[in-house]
Amino acid sequence: MAKTEVILTHNIVGLGGESDQVKVAAGYARNYLFPQGLAVPLTSSNKRRLEVLKQRRAERESNELNTMTDLSKSLSKLICVITVKTGDDGKMFGAVTSGMIADQLKTQFEVTLDKRKIHLEHTVRTLGEHEVELRLHPDVATTLKIRVESSTPPPALPVEAVAPTGRREDVRTEKRGRRPEAPAEKPEKAEKTEKTESAEKKPRTPRPERVMPPGAEKPARAEKGAKTRSAE
């Protein structure tokens, strides 16, 4: 198969970058690269374009590096939520893929990222938080946190029947609320009662007898003696 040398004007995965000189099949160059404007034939006139292409490539790679560096800083602070279906036992149906992560990044954060830059070191098959490696640029790599959640609602827990305890009146009281208990006797009233009881127990002091002067008789006795003399 005949080969021909060409100068690439754009990056082509698996072939080379902009301004690279590569050898390709003549038919591939004639039918695809040249019509698409991805390469030009290696001629003396086209060699003069190499400096222009190299300068344009350097500027593009510098801008791409700066863009990916800023993007990596932003993505490292985010948590991408992935919603999956699970069974009653909480196990996932299938696994989380790089395509699912790329779709959610665009939906949740409006970040367009090629799924080929998302590298899953291990298969994500469990709920919870995981870390995913992102290779944004040959010189830029970062990690993205994802949280896998279930879209299936958890099964309802059975309601346990409570066995009735106590009398029927007690159950009604618990439902309607217990009546307030009688308030305890106020401290002032209790103190007054104690004072009354102590007063009753205290012996009474006898009143002193009235002392009459000598020769004087009590009025009652004098009156009684007058009645006796009149009777005689």
| Same-domain check for residues 77 and 42 | no
pLDDT tens readout for residues 109-133: 999 999 999 999 888 999 999 999 9
* Range in 1-5, 33-37, 224-228 with the lowest mean pLDDT: 224-228
For the ranges 93-97, 171-175, 210-214, the one whose mean pLDDT is highest: 93-97
Q: What is the pLDDT of residue 208?
A: 54
Domain with residue 102: its CATH number is 3.10.430.100
Whether residue 7 is contained in a domain is answered as yes
User: How many CB atoms are located within 10 Å of the residue 17 CB?
Assistant: 15
In a domain, 172, yes or no: no
56-110 pLDDT, tens per residue? 888 988 999 999 999 999 999 999 999 999 988 878 888 999 999 999 999 999 9
**Shared-domain flag, residues 75 and 28:** no
How deeply is 80 buried, as exposed, middle or buried, from its count of CB atoms within 10 A (0-12, 13-18, 19+)? buried
Please indicate, yes or no, if residue 126 is contained in any of the structural domains: yes
Domains identified in the chain, total number: 2
> Which residue segment(s) compose the domain that 132 sits in?
71-150
Contacts by residues 165-171 (CB-CB < 8 Å, ≥ 24 positions apart): none
Q: Is residue 138 part of a domain?
A: yes
Domain annotation covers residue 76: yes
Asked whether residue 155 carries a pLDDT value surpassing 90, the answer given is: no
- Please check the confidence at residue 134 and state whether its pLDDT lies above 50: yes
CATH code, domain with 34:
3.40.5.10
Overall pTM > 0.85: no
Tell me, yes or no, whether 211 lies in a domain. Answer: no
